[in-house]
A and B are shown apart, each in its own frame.
Chain A
């Protein structure tokens, strides 16, 4: 992709410019997605000047063809981070560089109409809620093609057929509406819709949370096959750690807006270093003794900068944790934000 997005006003950017090469060529060895010190703070209603730190100084990278997991409890900022990366939200600070291009220069509302929109696509949590009930499966898959690629008529139809076959959706089901499809079929439509515009990064937000285990297994295998066949990168968000372990090479653990641990998925789940990750892994059913966390998650509103976010719930907490917030430090292939991890 040329640098037309940087230089010229976006409103005049012709959407057809990228028609031939959706996604653009990869820079060899450079990460596909590089996030530097990303922040998102929301004003708190009724409290003048108070800010909720949803995403706080997050740095992350995803290589071409790499699958990275993002885990953490609800309220930890996963969804906000995902919305920032999908450019549905504007960050309060930091950079998002995708395939060598700075994405944060484009406002979120404008980004929806840039050709780059096609390069990062999302598969949403509940296919029943995220598909337009008045669209047939064919219309749902075709819509991003019409909006983002400049394909028309027969070309759109051909691409819909192609991607439907790719995700194992029988063509006979394409005229059906969401309520006429099973959970697994709806999940396939959601994946086909995201893949239609040939993205390079797929953000999967709990893609199997609404599915039964047997259907989940089929969808997980489909996702693994698609990544291999199409050379896609995944950001896989889930609270089911066994699923994350299955589908990702690296994992990032988030707690209260911050990344507290990263590393190869196998290693992180086998021998977690951060006390929060240890508690999370011990809570997986079938893991034996559980680490019980005391107390509640502390408030994300104006958290004191010098206190570790996990202080108060941490089984190891000491005075130092209340005086000095641990930075995310590299330890071999891992990164851990804890005074006691080294």
Chain B
């Protein structure tokens, strides 16, 4: 992977100024996604996964303020871009699939019309066949996501469809203009396992077929393991480990990653073998946050962890932000998944 990454986020920091204090939601986050690569962004709720993706699209909450770092997408500086430039980008170059399709879709607009809205806004998007009518292209978008009976679905309202089908419509909306980067934020939360498998197969299948870069945000390590080329683990606003999926599962190096794996029920685990992560996420409003935000939950922490922030070496294949990482060669006694 010597090509330049399609998305390159460097030392990215963001805070929310609230009445209750400043929430340091992201600090010094490094992230790269290459063309055609599926990267899993994994962490517990509150780790900053969604905040990061919203910031990339320029749709953060008004209280958010970027305090440092850069985010470059295909040569374009996302942080310096004007709102109109970002608006042209969203849905066309970078698309997002949101967590709950039922609330993300417009409840009082037919599915076909919602698709046409996107296609009309980005009429000159690459890969768009201008010879076809909007309706034909909307129909094709539904066909691409393998919705049964797409002609009839064009006229349907979201409430008339199942959760899995709504998610397919969301995917159709996101991919209608053939974006270079897809951000999928917990796309299968709330779906059944069989539906989840279908939706994930669909997203990753289209990503491979179209050489689309995909940032897949999830709290489910096992799911990320099944579908991602590389996984980036986040904890309390820090990216703590980044590695190719197989490498990460064979030998996690950050103590948090290792604990996350051993707390996930797997095929071979028993109730007793589950090892929960001790403590809970630190309050990001605190002024006395330790430099490594995992330090207070970590058995290996020393004074250095409290005083000096370990950084993720962006160039390394298996990067870990830890002063006392687990050995590269020792595997976990009982990995959740292989």
Q: Which residues of A contact B (CB under 8 A)?
A: 73-75, 182-184, 212-218, 220-221, 224, 239-243, 245-247, 279-280, 283-287, 290, 292-293, 295-296
Of B12-20, B77-85, B265-273, B304-312, the stretch lying at the interface with chain A is: B265-273
Q: Check A292–B271 contact: CB distance below 8 A.
A: no
Whether B271 pairs with A246 at a CB distance below 8 angstroms is yes
- Are A293 and B220 within 8 A (Cβ)? no
* Nearest A residue to B223, CB-CB: A285
7 A–B contacts from the bound complex (CB under 8 Å): A182-B280, A184-B280, A214-B44, A214-B277, A242-B222, A246-B269, A284-B267
Q: Is B195 an interface residue (CB 8 A)?
A: yes
Q: Do A213 and B271 touch (CB < 8 A)?
A: no
Contact across chains for B193 and A286 when beta carbons are under 8 A apart: no
- The answer to whether residues A242 and B266 also contact, given A73-B195, A279-B194, A283-B194 and a CB cut-off of 8 A, is yes
Q: Can you name 5 extra interface pairs (CB under 8 A) apart from A290-B201, A292-B198, A296-B162?
A: A73-B192, A220-B271, A292-B201, A293-B194, A295-B148
Instruction: Flag the segment in B2-10, B151-159, B256-264 that touches A.
Output: B256-264
Bound form: Cα–Cα A283–B223 in Å: 10
Given contacts A73-B194, A247-B271, whether A286 and B226 have CB atoms under 8 Å apart is yes
Closest 9 CB pairs of A and B: A214-B277, A217-B263, A285-B222, A217-B276, A286-B337, A73-B192, A242-B265, A212-B44, A217-B274
Q: A212-B219, A292-B198 are in contact. Are A283 and B193 (CB under 8 A)?
A: yes
Q: A214-B44, A214-B263, A216-B263 are in contact. Are A239 and B192 (CB under 8 A)?
A: yes
List of B residues within 8 angstroms of A240 by Cβ: 193, 265
Number of interface residues of B (CB under 8 A): 39
Nearest-Cβ distance from residue A89 to partner chain B, whole angstroms: 23
Contact assessment for B194 and A286 in the assembled complex, using a CB-CB cutoff below 8 Å: no
Q: Assess whether A286 is in contact with B259, with CB atoms less than 8 Å apart.
A: no
Q: Which residues of A contact B302 (CB under 8 A)?
A: none
Q: How far is the CA of A241 from the CA of B196 in the complex (A)?
A: 13
CA distance A279 to B264 in the complex (A): 22
Q: Let me know if A243 and B265 touch, CB within 8 A.
A: yes
A284 touches B225 (CB 8 A): no
User: What does the 1/0 interface line of B323-338 toward A look like (CB < 8 Å)?
Assistant: 0000000000000111
Does B282 interact with chain A (Cβ within 8 Å)?
no
Q: Are A239 and B44 in contact (CB under 8 A)?
A: no
Counting CB contacts under 8 A, is B45 at the interface? yes
Contact of A220 among B162, B274, B337 (CB under 8 A): B274
Q: Which residues of B contact A214 (CB under 8 A)?
A: 44, 259-260, 263, 276-277
When C-beta atoms are compared, the residue in chain A nearest to B195 turns out to be: A73
How far apart sit A135 and B264, CA to CA, in the bound complex (Å)? 32
User: Which of B219, B267, B337 is close to A213, meaning CB atoms less than 8 Å apart?
Assistant: B219
Q: Is B275 an interface residue (CB 8 A)?
A: yes
Q: Known contacts being A292-B198, A296-B148, is A286 close to B276, with CB within 8 Å? A: no
Asked whether any CB of chain A lies closer than 8 Å to the CB of B197, the reply is yes
On chain B, the residues within 8 Å of A295 by CB distance are 148
Is B221 engaged at the interface, CB distance under 8 Å to the other chain?
A: yes
Query: How many Å from the CB of B245 to the closest CB on chain A?
Result: 11
Known A-B contacts A73-B192, A74-B192, A280-B194; the reply to A285 vs B277 at CB < 8 A is: no
Does B314 count as interface, using CB distance less than 8 angstroms?
no
Is residue B163 within 8 Å, beta carbon to beta carbon, of the partner chain? yes
Question: Once the chains are docked, how many angstroms separate the CA of A287 from the CA of B337?
Answer: 9
User: Roughly how many angstroms separate A241 CA and B267 CA in the complex, as a whole number?
Assistant: 10
The residue in chain B whose Cβ has the minimal distance to the Cβ of A313 is B194
Most buried by B among A184, A247, A287: A287
User: Is B275's CB under 8 angstroms from A217's CB?
Assistant: yes
Taking a contact as CB atoms closer than 8 A, the residue among B201, B222, B263 that contacts A286 in the complex is B222
User: In the complex, A283→B338 CA distance in Å?
Assistant: 16
CA A280 to CA B263, docked complex, whole Å: 22
Q: How far, in whole Å, are A247 and B266 apart by their CA atoms in the complex?
A: 12
Given A182-B280, A212-B44, the answer on whether A74 and B266 have CB atoms closer than 8 Å is no
Q: With A212-B44, A292-B198 in contact, is A284–B193 under 8 Å at CB?
A: yes
Of A73, A213, A215, A284, the most chain B CB neighbours within 10 A belong to: A213
Contact (Cβ within 8 A) A286 B275: no
Q: Which residues of B contact A285 (CB under 8 A)?
A: 220, 222-223, 225-226, 337
B255 CB to nearest A CB, Å: 13
Per the bound structure, the CA–CA distance linking A296 and B275 in Å amounts to: 39
